[in-house]
Structure 1
Amino acid sequence: MTVAPTADPVAEDWHRFAALDTLTNHWDRPGWTPGRRSYHWMLTFEDAAELCDLAARCQARLHLPVLDPVPADGLHLTLQRLAFADETTTIEVEKAVNETRQQLSDVQTFALTVGPLAGSSGAVRFSVVPWEPVIDLRNRIINATAATLGPAAAIAKPHGFRPHVGIAYCNSPTDARPIIQAVEALRELPRAGVLIKAVALVELRREGRTYRWETVTRLPLADLPLAPPRR
C-alpha cells in the first residue's frame, strides 16, 4: 500500500506526528530474531554531506536516552524489503536484481529535498519531497519482486509508505510530548538537497540498536540533466 501524495505531505507528516500521545519501541518488530538478516532496496547517502550535517545538528539537540541516533553512514531511505535472507536463495536474489534492473532502465537521476524534521510512532525522521519519483521507484521494485519471487513477496507495508529518512529510533515506550516539542524547535533548520543516482540492494542486519548493511548491488539511474531540488 502506498499513501497517495497529499497537497502538502510535509505538513501532513508533522500533523500526524504531533498528534501522537506515546512513542513505541522501534526495535520490537516481528521477524527480527537475533542474528537474522534481510535484503532491502534502499536509497543510501554516502556522499550527502549536507544531509549528514543536518542530521548531526538535530541529533545533538535530541540527546535523549530513549532515542538511538542513526550514524551518518547509516542514513537511508527504505524503499521495500525483498526478503529475509533465510527465506530466499542466491539464485532468487539474482533473478530479482536482474528484473529490477530492467524495470529501472529508463528511470532518470532525480533530486530530493530532505527536511524538515518530523517523526512516527517509533522514530524521529525527516520528511522527503517530492514523493512522486520515490513512489515510482518503489512501484517498479515491487513489480520486479512480484515477477520473480511471487506476489506474496511483494506485499507492501500495511500502514502505507511515506518516504522519509530516519535520524533516531525510539528504544522504549515513552511519552511523546517532550520529543514532539524538541522536534518542533528544529523544524526551521535549512533543508538538505540530495541527488539520487542509484538504488542499492543491501543485506541488512542489526548491531545492537543500530542498522548496518553490506551492499549487494547498486543499480545506477540514467544520468540526465537535473532540475534543482525543491526547497
Structure 2
Amino acid sequence: MTSSPEWTHRHHEELRDHWWWRPGWKIGTRFYAWHITVDDQPGLHELAERYQAELATVPGLDLIPRDWLHLTMQGDGFVEDVPPEQVEAILAAARNRLGEIAAFEAHFGRPVVTAEAIILPPDPVEPFDQLRTAVRAAIGDALGPTAVPEEANGYRPHISLAYVNAQQPAANAIQAIERVTAGAARTSIRTVSLIEMHRDNRMYEWRTVEAVRLANR
C-alpha cells in the first residue's frame, strides 16, 4: 500500500498572501484550465462547511463558497492564446484519453495548512496524478508535446477551503482545524471539466466549457 506523501499531512508554519498577480494575470484575464468541480458532492460540501465554520474565526482568510470549490488539475493557457479550433482539438483528444480511465471514489479528510491556502488533500493521491497525466497527454495529442504548459512533476491535487490574504503565522489556522471533529467525505470522481476561469473578484470563478466523462466502472 502506498503511503501518503508528506505534503498531505504536514502544515506550513507561516502564511503569505495568495492574491499576488502571477505573470500574465490582471483584472479581465480569462484562462482555460482543467478542474474537477464538485457541485454534486453533498458529503464534501458538509465537510467543507464544518471546517470553514471554524476557519471563519481566523483573520486573513478568504473562505471559498460552495459554488467555487474545485480540484485544480492542469492549465491550458490564456483564452486569447488558445483559438477555438485548438480548444475543440484538445477536447476531442481529452474525450479519447479520459474515456479510457474508469470513474473512481476518493476520500477527503483532515485539512492541511499550506503557505497560501487551507486545503483538503485526497486519499488516494495516485488516481488524480493519472487523470492529470491523461489531460497533459491530450493537450500534447492536439497541439504537440512541446505545447503542454506547466511542469509534469510537482503536482499536488487538493481542494482549497480558504485562501490566505495576509501574511501571518499559521498557528491560528491550525488550531481552528484541530477544533473540528469530523470524518472523511467520500467523493465520486466522474468527470474532468475544461473551464474558462478568472479571478476578478479575489476568487476563482468560471464557466464550464465541457465536462468530459470518465468511463463507467
Tell me the TM-score normalized by structure 2.
0.92
Contact residue 199 and residue 220 of structure 1 kept, 8 A: yes
Counterpart CA distance in 1 for 2:153 and 2:116 is 13
| Structure-2 change in CA distance of 1:48 and 1:42 (3 Å) | same
Offset from partner CA, 1:99-151 (integer Å, 9 cap, x none):
11111121111001012111211000111011121111100111111232344
Offset from partner CA, 1:50-103 (integer Å, 9 cap, x none):
111111111110113310011111111011011111221111111111111111
Contact residue 13 and residue 119 of structure 1 kept, 8 A: no
Report the counterpart of residue 14 of structure 1 in structure 2: 9
Matched, 1:118 2:89: no
Report the counterpart of residue 90 of structure 2 in structure 1: 96
Report the counterpart of residue 70 of structure 1 in structure 2: 64
Q: Which amino acid aligns with 1:217?
A: E
- Residue among 184, 190, 194 paired with 1:191: 184
Gaps spanning 5+ residues in structure 1: where? Answer: 225-231
Contact residue 23 and residue 121 of structure 1 kept, 8 A: yes
Q: Which amino acid aligns with 1:73?
A: D
SS in 1 for 2:119: strand
Report the counterpart of residue 128 of structure 1 in structure 2: 122
SS in 2 for 1:32: coil
Counterpart CA distance in 2 for 1:137 and 1:158 is 12
Report the counterpart of residue 144 of structure 1 in structure 2: 138
SS in 1 for 2:134: helix
- Residue among 42, 51, 60 paired with 1:58: 51
Q: Which amino acid aligns with 1:8?
A: S
Gaps spanning 5+ residues in structure 2: where? Answer: none
Report the counterpart of residue 15 of structure 2 in structure 1: 23
Counterpart CA distance in 1 for 2:115 and 2:64 is 16
| Structure-2 change in CA distance of 1:184 and 1:23 (3 Å) | same
Q: Which amino acid aligns with 2:96?
A: Q
SS in 1 for 2:216: coil
Report the counterpart of residue 47 of structure 1 in structure 2: 40
Q: Which amino acid aligns with 1:163?
A: P
Q: Would you say how many aligned residue pairs link Structure 1 and Structure 2? A: 215
| Structure-2 change in CA distance of 1:177 and 1:159 (3 Å) | farther
Counterpart CA distance in 2 for 1:124 and 1:203 is 23
Q: CA RMSD in A?
A: 1.9
- Amino-acid identity (%): 34
Counterpart CA distance in 1 for 2:45 and 2:192 is 19
| Structure-2 change in CA distance of 1:119 and 1:154 (3 Å) | farther
Counterpart CA distance in 2 for 1:74 and 1:193 is 19
26-35 or 152-161, which moves further after superposition? 152-161
Following TM superposition, by how much is the alpha carbon of 1:157 offset from its aligned partner in structure 2, in angstroms?
Answer: 4.3
